């Protein structure tokens, strides 16, 4: 596959909007101007839709050839609201809004609806590899000749899911996080920070640091890159990062990125890498709950 270029980045996290690495004003009322649609949106939908809309600001609907979204858990607040109403009302007189909004593709669908975008629209929901799957699809779309492919990832924390994840032992290493990250992908570079996605690879199941390091070397070799030239963005725990530092001779100090955890955090790591790494070749190493792993190799635009 030919390299694809990320020409715009947009992030909403911790109530902050960051476009191409620069903080901007986050005003949901201004971004999602239609009050009729906005009033039904839960936090994750607002966050995702606003982030997606800002990312394609100024582009015409006809020029956007695909909308590809990813979410590990989907719209949890609406899902719980609807389950609660089923139990509380004994399956009678249920408000349909939370059911409609609970669908995994709600955010992709709403962006299409608000901007009148009739093109390809798909949502991936595959744990810690949801975003990687979407990125692979987006790269294929660009290789198929599509322009301005909107790619995004969204996950939210709710009180209930936090309690469940804590009980499942998923918060042992990191606190839970949430956020929305969107990107525009094209076949050619544009903008001052555009990055090229050169390779994406994924694995599932436990992975020892030895195997991970082997995999990193393999990936670098396959792409004809000297390991020492790589800047590593570590979306994994610090013990693994330290091991990588010890075992590989790197000119650049790895950038420790992971400070919280959620299934599509790798999308935020990608935004971070694009806007913070100054090296020519950057490798993002992601580990979600030690069950999903990915390597994303970036070059300069």
Partner 1 sequence: MRIAVTGLGAVSGIGFGVSENIESLRTGRHGMGKPRFFQTTLDVPVSEVKATNTELAKRLNLNAERTYSRTALLGLMAAREAVADAGIDVSKKRVGFISSTSVGGMDLSEVFYNDFRTDHNRGRLRLVSQHDCGASTEFIANQLGISGFVTTISTACSSAGNAIMLGARMLQHNMLDAVVAGGTDALCKFTLNGFGSLMILDKEHCRPFDATRAGLNLGEGAGYIVLQRSEDAAHAPYCLLTGYANANDAYHQTGCSPEGNGAFGSMSAAMAVAGLQPSEIDYINVHGTATPNNDLSEATAIRRIFGDRVPPFSSVKAFIGHTLGASEGIEAVYSALSVKNGYVYPNLNFKSADEAIGLAPETEFAEGRRVRNVLSNAFGFGGNDTSLVFSRAD
Partner 2 sequence: MEELIEKLKGELIAELNLEEVTPADIDAEAPLFGDGGLGLDSIDALEIILILERNYGIKIENPAQGKEIFYSVKTLAEYITANQKK
Question: What span, in angstroms and rounded, lies between the C-alpha atoms of 258 and 284?
Answer: 11
Q: Are strands 16-19 and 4-13 parallel, antiparallel or unpaired?
A: antiparallel
Tell me, by CB under 8 A, how many residues bind partner 2. Answer: 10
Contact 9, 152 (CB under 8 A): no
239 is in the binding site of which of partner 2, partner 1, none (Cβ under 5 to 8 A by kind)? none
142: phi > 0 → left, psi -120 to 50 → alpha, else beta; which?
alpha
| Residue 119 interacts with partner 1 (CB under 8 A): yes or no | yes
Q: Return the structure tokens found at 37.
A: 């649609």
| Residue 87 interacts with partner 2 (CB under 8 A): yes or no | no
Minimum distance from CB of 153 to partner 1 (Å)? 14
Minimum distance from CB of 18 to partner 1 (Å)? 27
39 is in the binding site of which of partner 1, partner 2, none (Cβ under 5 to 8 A by kind)? partner 2
Contact 294, 266 (CB under 8 A): yes
Q: What residues from 249 to 268 belong to the interface with partner 1 (CB under 8 A)?
A: 263
Paired residues of 296 in beta bridges: 200, 284
Q: What residues from 146 to 205 belong to the interface with partner 1 (CB under 8 A)?
A: 160, 163-164, 167-168, 202, 204
| Residue 87 interacts with partner 1 (CB under 8 A): yes or no | yes
Question: What span, in angstroms and rounded, lies between the C-alpha atoms of 73 and 125?
Answer: 7
Q: With respect to partner 2, which residue has the nearer C-beta, 36 or 249?
A: 36
Q: Is 156 helix (H, G, I), strand (E, B) or coil?
A: coil
Contact 10, 47 (CB under 8 A): no
Among 50, 53, 55, 112, binds partner 1 (CB under 8 A): 112
Rounded to 10 deg, the angle between the 76-88 and 159-167 helix axes is 100
Minimum distance from CB of 23 to partner 1 (Å)? 31
Residues 91-120, one symbol each (x = binds partner 2 by CB under 8 A, - = not), give --xxxxx--x--------------------
Minimum distance from CB of 120 to partner 1 (Å)? 5
Q: With respect to partner 1, which residue has the nearer C-beta, 133 or 148?
A: 133
Contact 145, 1 (CB under 8 A): no
Q: With respect to partner 2, which residue has the nearer C-beta, 1 or 33?
A: 33
Contact 149, 141 (CB under 8 A): yes
Q: Is 260 helix (H, G, I), strand (E, B) or coil?
A: coil
Q: With respect to partner 2, which residue has the nearer C-beta, 95 or 259?
A: 95
Minimum distance from CB of 94 to partner 2 (Å)? 8
Q: Return the structure tokens found at 131.
A: 């975003």
36 is in the binding site of which of partner 2, partner 1, none (Cβ under 5 to 8 A by kind)? partner 2
* Site for partner 2, rule CB under 8 A: 35-36, 39-40, 93-97, 100
């Amino acid at each position: 596959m030919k390299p694809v270029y990320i020409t715009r980045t947009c992030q909403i996290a911790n109530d902050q909007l960051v476009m191409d690495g620069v903080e901007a004003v986050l005003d949901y009322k201004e971004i999602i101007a239609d009050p009729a649609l906005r009033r039904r949106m839960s936090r994750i939908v607002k966050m995702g839709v606003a982030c997606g809309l800002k990312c394609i600001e100024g582009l015409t609907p006809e020029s956007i050839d695909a909308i590809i979204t990813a979410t590990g858990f989907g719209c949890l607040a609406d899902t719980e609201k609807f389950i609660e109403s089923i139990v509380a009302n004994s399956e009678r007189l249920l408000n349909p809004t939370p059911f409609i909004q609970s669908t995994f593709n709600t955010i992709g669908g709403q962006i299409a609806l608000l901007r009148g975008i009739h093109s390809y629209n798909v949502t991936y929901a595959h744990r810690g590899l949801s975003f990687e799957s979407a990125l692979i699809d987006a790269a294929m779309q660009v290789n198929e000749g599509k322009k301005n492919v909107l790619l995004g990832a969204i996950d939210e924390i709710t009180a209930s899911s936090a309690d469940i994840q804590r009980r499942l032992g998923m918060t042992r290493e990191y606190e839970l996080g949430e956020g929305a990250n969107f990107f525009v992908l094209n076949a050619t570079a544009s903008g001052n920070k555009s990055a090229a996605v050169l390779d994406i690879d994924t694995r599932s199941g436990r992975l020892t640091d030895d195997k991970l390091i082997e995999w990193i070397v393999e990936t670098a070799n396959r792409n004809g890159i000297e390991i020492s030239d790589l800047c590593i963005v570590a979306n994994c725990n610090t013990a693994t990062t330290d091991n990588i530092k010890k075992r590989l001779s790197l000119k650049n100090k790895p950038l420790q990125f992971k400070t919280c955890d959620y299934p599509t955090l790798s999308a935020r790591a990608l935004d971070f890498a694009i806007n913070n790494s100054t090296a020519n070749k950057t490798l993002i190493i992601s580990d979600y709950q030690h069950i999903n792993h990915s390597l994303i190799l970036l070059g300069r635009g």
